[in-house]
Amino acid sequence: MFFVTPAYAEEAPAAATGTDAHAAPAAGEVHTETGVPAGEHARGPFPPFDSTTYASQLLWLVITFGVFYLLMQKVIAPRIGAILDQRHTRISQDLEEASRLKAEADAAVRTYEGELAAARAKSHAIGSAARDAAKVKAEEDRRAVEASLSEKIKAAEARIADIKAKAFADVGTIAEETASAVVEQLIGGTAAQADVAAAVAAAKKEA
């Protein structure tokens, strides 16, 4: 941004002279915007490189830099700082929330693992108790079956003993009847009962 103090020349009103406003400037007339004499655009230096305007250029540079610095310090920098603070605060809150959620998740995992271990221990205890109860019941059933079998064996032995006793008691009678039948078949007559009994008794003694 460059500004040059224009040198104004006295100009007669176009209406008074009757000349055209866009007519060529007179000799020695200075341009109202650049301060360069009319007709000398090609001969004059480029304005930024004109040594006669260095002072004004430096002045406006300082003014522009100061305004820009104040604008940065008072407006832009505070807004950027506020945005950065908001983002920092939000990031800190997000990190705290993530830490809290992680702590809750870890606590939930520990609780789940503890409950799982307790459930396993309880199931193991229940299984052990069930096995022990089954063993006790099986032992009781075995003893009951053995006792029942023992009683049945004793009853069978008693019946067998009674049958044997009856059988031995009837052996003499059967032998006498058999001997009488044999004698009758051999001699064709009937033997005396007393003789048959005496013979059977003598055979028992010899046996």
Domain count of the chain? 1
In a domain, 16, yes or no: no
Other beta carbons within 10 Å of 175: 17
In a domain, 150, yes or no: no
Residue 182 is which amino acid? V
In a domain, 148, yes or no: no
In a domain, 138, yes or no: no
Q: Give residue 89's Cα distance to chain centre.
A: 31
Contacts of 89 (CB under 8 A, 6+ apart): none
In a domain, 172, yes or no: yes
In a domain, 57, yes or no: no
Q: What is the pTM of this model?
A: 0.36
Contacts of 28 (CB under 8 A, 6+ apart): 9, 37
Range of the domain at 196: 160-206
pLDDT at site 170 = 66
In a domain, 174, yes or no: yes
pLDDT in tens, the chain (207 residues): 444 444 433 343 433 344 444 444 454 455 454 555 554 444 667 776 777 788 888 899 999 999 999 999 888 989 998 999 999 999 999 999 999 999 999 999 999 999 999 999 999 899 899 999 998 989 999 889 988 888 889 888 888 988 877 776 666 676 767 767 776 666 666 666 666 667 666 666 665
For every residue of the chain, DSSP letters joined together read -------------HHHH---TTSPPPTTPBPTTT-PBTT-TTTSPPGGG-GGGHHHHHHHHHHHHHHHHHHIIIIIHHHHHHHHHHHHHHHHHHHHHHHHHHHHHHHHHHHHHHHHHHHHHHHHHHHHHHHHHHHHHHHHHHHHHHHHHHHHHHHHHHHHHHHHHHHHHHHHHHHHHHHHHHHHHHHSSPPPHHHHHHHHHHHHHH-
Residue 10 is which amino acid? E
Angle between the N-to-C axes of helices 193-206 and 77-187, in degrees from 0 to 180, rounded to the nearest 10: 130
Closest CA to 179 of 162, 201, 159: 201
